Amino acid sequence: MHVKLNEEQRLLKDTVRQFAEEVVRPNAKEIDETGIFPRAYYDQAGELGLAGVCVPEEYGGAAMDTISYCVVIEEISRVCATSGVILSVNNSLVCDPLDKYGSEEQKREFLTPLASGQKLGCFALTEPGAGSDAGGLLTTAVRDGDDYVLNGNKVFITNGTDADIAIVFAKTDPEAGNKGITAFIVQSDIPGFSRGEHEYKLGVNASGTTELAFTDMRVPASQRLGDEGQGFRVAMTTLDGGRVGIAAQAVGIAQGAFDEALAYSKEREQFGRPISSFQAIQFYLADMATEIDAARFLTWKAAWTKDNKKRYTLEAAQAKLFTSEMAQRVTSKALQIHGGYGYTREYNVERYFRDARITEIYEGTSEIQKLVIASQVLRDA
């Protein structure tokens, strides 16, 4: 594994940083406050090839590797974590399973517009009673002729307010536990599909989080993703990839907070000199810079393992666990360096501090990551 970006990845990083600085940063504060989903940003990101970074070109994607994908999510999240997760969900949780499990027809009809950014996707797994226990979902899908009829509710669905297409998980055999779950590709404009209001949250406030409800919603059997009963596996393997994306998001949030704190420490004077000249602040900066690098390399290791077609459940969970907890520590120190100003809305650092918190929760809490890591470590022992 190379620990340096290659020429193509460096060029991508520069391009995405410029896009992030010019297009994403100017709106980051406002969308955090209003919670309005930034669809225009998503459309522009799609034009740049960022909606389907790893998807083959024949299906509308940019055909890059997973380290490149991490670079994209980190650079966007460095200025706006909301914008980072919107892309991460479309890439990892929607395009990736369509590419992996979709039929040729499904790829042409659904993956291509999603990967090119013409459409936006969401991933509908979580339910009011099924969060960490994803297999406990209650939404049902009953076969009726050439269709399935879906009934149920989903909660906390990122991109849900604006998504055109949802990957929905439902029980086709409620008696069969995890093995009775099936995945479906669902358009949001079909009868029986409805969504709730935008959910106001502590952070990543404009990521379109909402509830979805399905009432006698007919989905053609041709839109079943994978086999009947394969849905839990589809969800888990998809989340392996999603966790790499969230790890990259956490690295980006931490890097953004670090950059703000570093600049502030050089400008802010106390006792007649910049606070960066005090050893207490220098030690904070040293710890932050070291932790961010360690987290980034762990993330790239998971990405590299994925690209090398090895099972990367362990690496993804380790990256997600470490980066999200690192992001708490780094954003907290960045706020501390800002002192009282850091606690106000005038400075960006409080937004980074709030945004970082969700990375320990979504796509599997830290506690779930530890369960996954332990089971992999014990299995390999």
Helices 231-267 and 81-88: angle between axes, nearest 10 degrees: 160
- Select the residue interacting with ligand CAA from 63, 236, 262, 289 (CB under 6 A): 236
**Tokens encoding 360:** 């320990």
Contact flag: residue 196 with ligand CAA (CB under 6 A): no
Taking the least distance from each CB to ligand CAA, the nearer of 240 and 315 is 240
109: annotated active-site residue? no
Q: Write down how long the chain is.
A: 381
143 vs 172: CA distance, rounded Å: 8
Site for ligand CAA contains 364 (CB under 6 A): yes
Query: Does 42 sit near ligand CAA (CB under 6 A)?
Result: no
Interface residues for ligand CAA in 241-280 (CB under 6 A)?
A: none
Report the alpha-carbon distance of residue 265 to residue 334 in Å, rounded. 10
> Toward ligand CAA, which CB reaches closer, 52 or 242?
242
Q: Nearest CA to 236 among 187, 179, 186?
A: 179
Segment lying near ligand CAA (by CB under 6 A), choices 264-272, 274-282, 290-298, 363-371: 363-371
Q: Which of 240, 315, 325, 350 binds ligand CAA (CB under 6 A)?
A: 240
- What type of residue is 351? R
Size of the site for ligand CAA (CB under 6 A): 25
How deeply is 107 buried, as exposed, middle or buried, from its count of CB atoms within 10 A (0-12, 13-18, 19+)?
buried
Closest CB to ligand CAA among residues 44, 230: 230
Question: Minimum Å distance from CB 177 to ligand CAA?
Answer: 8
DSSP single-letter state for residue 227: S
**Binding pattern for the stretch 143-182 against ligand CAA, x by CB under 6 A and - elsewhere:** -------------x-x-------------------x----
Ranges assigned E (strand) in the chain: 121-124, 140-144, 147-157, 165-171, 181-187, 193-195, 210-220, 224-225, 269-270, 273-274
Query: What would the x/- binding string for ligand CAA be over residues 106 to 125, using CB under 6 A?
Result: -----------------x-x
Catalytic-labelled residue, pool 58, 199, 363, 367: 363
Burial (CB count within 10 angstroms: exposed 0-12, middle 13-18, buried 19+), residue 1: exposed
- Which region, judged by CB under 6 A, interacts with ligand CAA, from 14-22, 250-258, 345-353, 359-367? 359-367
Binding region for ligand CAA (CB under 6 A): 85, 89, 123, 125-126, 132-135, 156, 158, 178, 232-233, 236-237, 239-240, 313, 362-364, 368, 371-372
